[in-house]
C-alpha cells in the first residue's frame, strides 16, 4: 500500500481526494497496489467530510512519517508551500503540485533537490489545469527543438475577452459579471494583469528551453486596457483579441512575455473561447500541435494532480524523466525590445494623415478610419522600432496590440 498526503483541502485538494476515491479501482490497477490518503493538511477542520479523520494541522506529522512516500501540494501561494515542498523532498518524498507560483519561482531549485534525493517533482496541473501539456512537452515532443509556444493560459481573462468580443460589452461590465458568476476573483489582479499567465509561460519556457526566467521580470501586460472598440475593430479585421503567453528564442536568447494579441482566424487557438485554455506548440520536427481543454476547475485540475500521483506511485524514481532546469542568466534572456512582430496601431489621427504615417511606419496594412481613430497593422518590426515610430509621429496613441 502507498500512503499519500495532500497539502491543502481547498478546491484542488478536495477535488484530488474525490478523484482518488471515486476512481480508486482504475487508479490502483495502474499503480499496481492500494493507495491510501493518510493525511490531509489544512488549517481548517472538515467535520462533515468523509475525509475528516485524515485532516491534520501540523505539517511535521507528514514530514516525519516515513510511511508517506508521495505528497500532493495544492496550497497555492509561495509560502509555506515552498518550505513544505523542500522539507518533503529532503525527507525523500516525491512531490506533485498544482501550484504554478511555486514552480515558476522555485522550480529550478526544487527539481535539483528532487534529483539529489532520488525522488520526483512533477507539476502537470500547474499549467492548463486538466490539459496534458507538461508531460507531452517532456516526453512526446522530446525529439524536437521547440521554437515557440503561444498559449491562452488564463480562463478568467479569456472568458472576459470572449464576452467582450461576442457582446460588444466593456471590460468593466464583463468583469463584474464574471465575479458574480465565480469566474473571476474578488481581487482579479493576478488574472487580469497577466501575472497568472506569466507564471505559466515561464514554466512552459523552462520546459521548452531548459532555462527558468523570473516570472516577475518578464514583459507582462494584462487586459485592463482593452476596450469594446478594440475588440470590435479586431473582429472586423478577422482577428480575436486573446491574452497570450508567448515564448520563443530571439537570436538564441529566450523571450517570454504575456500580452493581449490579435490572433488571426486561421490560428488553431483563434477559436478557443470562454474559460477554456489552448496551447499551441511549434517545434522543428512536429510542426504545430495544439492542446485544448479546461484550464482550471476542481476536477480537471485534480485529474492532472492525480495523473502525476499515478506516475510517481507506479514508477521507481529512476523511471521518471524529471526535467533539468537552470535559472537563465541575464545574458540568456532576450530584451523584449528586440522581438519582431506585426502591430495593430490605433492613433488619434485623421484620414488625411495616411501619407505621413506611411512614410514613418514604412507600410500600413488594413487601414481603417472611424471618428478620430486611425488604425492600421504595421509590417513586421521590433518593439523598439514600433515604439520609436509612434513617438515620432506625435499623434496621441489610442492603443497598440501585437499580432500573433
Give the residue numbers marked as catalytic: 200
β-sheet bridge partners, residue 284: none
C-beta of 16 vs 378, nearer to a second copy: 16
Q: According to the binding rule CB under 8 A, does residue 143 interact with a second copy?
A: yes
Among 96, 213, 240, 283, binds a second copy (CB under 8 A): 283
Among 107, 130, 155, 222, binds a second copy (CB under 8 A): 130
φ and ψ at residue 363, rounded to 5 degrees: 125, 115
C-beta of 285 vs 330, nearer to a second copy: 285
Q: According to the binding rule CB under 8 A, does residue 293 interact with a second copy?
A: yes
C-beta of 266 vs 355, nearer to a second copy: 266
Q: How far is CA 147 from CA 214, 262, 366, in A?
A: 20, 20, 28
Q: According to the binding rule CB under 8 A, does residue 264 interact with a second copy?
A: no
Q: According to the binding rule CB under 8 A, does residue 124 interact with a second copy?
A: yes
Q: According to the binding rule CB under 8 A, does residue 303 interact with a second copy?
A: yes
Q: According to the binding rule CB under 8 A, does residue 315 interact with a second copy?
A: yes
Reported as type and span, the H/E element at residue 397 is strand 397-403
Q: According to the binding rule CB under 8 A, does residue 204 interact with a second copy?
A: no
Separation CA 131–CA 44 (nearest Å): 30
CA pseudo-torsion sign 200, 205, 206, 212: negative
C-beta of 50 vs 372, nearer to a second copy: 50
Closest CA to 164 of 224, 112, 249, 221: 224
Reported as type and span, the H/E element at residue 162 is helix 155-167
Q: What secondary structure does DSSP assign to 56-120, as a single string?
A: ES-HHHHHT-TTEEEEEE---SSTTHHHHHHHHHHTT-EEEE--HHHHHHHHHHHHHHHHHTT--
Q: According to the binding rule CB under 8 A, does residue 326 interact with a second copy?
A: no
CB atoms within 10 A of CB 186: 5
CB 356 within 8 A of CB 393: yes
Q: According to the binding rule CB under 8 A, does residue 226 interact with a second copy?
A: no
β-sheet bridge partners, residue 373: 370
Q: According to the binding rule CB under 8 A, does residue 316 interact with a second copy?
A: yes
Q: Which stretch binds a second copy (CB under 8 A): 67-75, 138-146, 163-171, 187-195?
A: 138-146
φ and ψ at residue 126, rounded to 5 degrees: -80, -20
Q: According to the binding rule CB under 8 A, does residue 116 interact with a second copy?
A: no
CB of 289 to a second copy, least distance (A): 3
Q: According to the binding rule CB under 8 A, does residue 299 interact with a second copy?
A: yes
Among 252, 285, 331, 371, binds a second copy (CB under 8 A): 285
C-beta of 186 vs 318, nearer to a second copy: 318
Among 310, 344, 345, 401, binds a second copy (CB under 8 A): 310
C-beta of 120 vs 156, nearer to a second copy: 120
Q: According to the binding rule CB under 8 A, does residue 203 interact with a second copy?
A: no
CB 296 within 8 A of CB 57: no
Q: According to the binding rule CB under 8 A, does residue 404 interact with a second copy?
A: no
266 CB contacts (<8 Å, ≥6 apart)?
Answer: none
Q: According to the binding rule CB under 8 A, does residue 34 interact with a second copy?
A: no
CB of 227 to a second copy, least distance (A): 27
C-beta of 194 vs 294, nearer to a second copy: 294
Question: DSSP character for 333?
Answer: B
Q: According to the binding rule CB under 8 A, does residue 49 interact with a second copy?
A: no
Number of residues that bind a second copy (CB under 8 A): 52
CB atoms within 10 A of CB 319: 10
Among 46, 292, 369, 395, binds a second copy (CB under 8 A): 292
Provide the greatest CA pair distance for the chain.
77
Q: Which stretch binds a second copy (CB under 8 A): 245-253, 254-262, 279-287, 376-384?
A: 279-287
C-beta of 23 vs 49, nearer to a second copy: 23
Separation CA 212–CA 249 (nearest Å): 13
Separation CA 136–CA 227 (nearest Å): 36
Residues that bind a second copy in the complex, under the rule CB under 8 A: 19-20, 22-23, 26-27, 30, 124, 130-132, 135-136, 139-145, 268, 271, 283-294, 297, 299-300, 302-304, 306-307, 309-311, 314-316, 318-321
Amino acid at each position: 500500500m502507498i500512503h499519500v498526503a495532500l497539502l491543502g483541502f481547498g478546491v484542488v485538494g478536495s477535488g484530488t481526494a474525490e478523484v482518488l476515491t471515486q476512481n480508486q479501482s482504475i487508479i490502483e490497477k495502474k499503480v499496481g497496489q492500494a493507495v491510501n490518503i493518510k493525511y490531509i493538511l489544512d488549517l481548517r477542520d472538515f467535520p462533515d467530510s468523509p475525509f475528516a479523520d485524515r485532516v491534520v494541522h501540523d505539517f511535521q506529522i507528514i514530514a516525519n512519517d516515513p510511511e508517506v512516500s508521495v505528497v500532493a501540494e495544492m496550497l497555492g501561494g509561495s509560502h509555506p508551500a515552498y518550505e513544505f515542498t523542500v522539507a518533503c523532498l529532503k525527507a525523500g518524498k516525491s512531490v506533485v503540485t498544482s501550484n504554478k507560483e511555486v514552480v515558476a519561482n522555485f522550480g529550478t531549485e526544487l527539481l535539483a533537490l528532487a534529483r539529489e534525493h532520488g525522488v520526483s517533482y512533477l507539476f502537470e496541473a500547474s499549467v492548463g489545469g486538466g490539459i496534458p501539456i507538461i508531460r507531452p512537452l517532456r516526453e512526446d515532443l522530446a525529439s524536437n527543438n521547440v521554437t515557440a509556444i503561444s498559449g491562452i493560459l488564463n480562463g478568467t481573462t479569456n472568458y472576459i475577452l470572449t464576452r467582450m468580443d461576442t457582446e460588444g460589452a466593456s471590460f468593466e461590465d464583463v468583469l463584474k459579471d464574471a465575479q458574480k458568476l465565480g469566474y473571476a476573483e474578488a481581487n482579479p489582479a493576478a488574472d487580469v494583469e497577466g501575472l497568472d499567465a506569466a507564471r505559466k509561460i515561464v514554466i512552459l519556457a523552462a520546459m521548452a528551453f531548459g532555462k527558468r526566467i523570473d516570472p516577475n521580470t518578464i514583459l507582462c501586460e494584462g487586459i485592463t486596457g482593452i476596450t469594446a472598440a478594440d475588440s470590435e475593430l479586431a473582429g472586423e479585421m478577422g482577428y480575436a483579441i486573446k491574452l497570450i503567453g508567448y515564448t520563443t528564442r530571439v537570436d538564441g536568447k529566450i523571450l517570454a512575455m504575456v500580452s493581449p494579441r490579435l490572433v488571426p482566424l486561421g490560428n488553431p487557438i483563434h477559436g478557443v473561447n470562454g474559460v477554456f485554455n489552448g496551447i499551441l506548440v511549434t517545434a522543428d520536427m512536429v510542426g504545430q500541435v495544439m492542446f485544448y481543454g479546461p484550464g482550471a476547475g476542481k476536477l480537471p485540475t485534480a485529474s492532472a494532480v492525480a495523473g502525476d500521483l499515478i506516475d510517481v506511485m507506479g514508477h521507481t524514481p529512476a523511471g521518471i524523466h524529471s526535467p533539468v532546469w537552470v535559472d537563465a542568466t541575464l545574458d540568456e534572456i532576450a530584451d523584449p525590445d528586440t522581438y519582431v512582430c506585426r502591430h495593430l496601431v490605433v492613433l488619434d489621427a485623421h484620414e488625411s494623415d495616411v501619407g505621413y504615417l506611411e512614410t514613418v511606419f514604412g507600410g500600413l496594412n488594413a487601414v481603417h478610419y472611424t471618428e478620430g481613430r486611425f488604425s492600421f497593422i504595421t509590417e513586421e518590426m521590433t518593439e523598439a522600432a514600433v515604439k520609436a515610430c509612434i513617438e515620432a509621429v506625435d499623434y496621441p496613441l489610442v492603443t497598440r496590440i501585437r499580432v500573433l
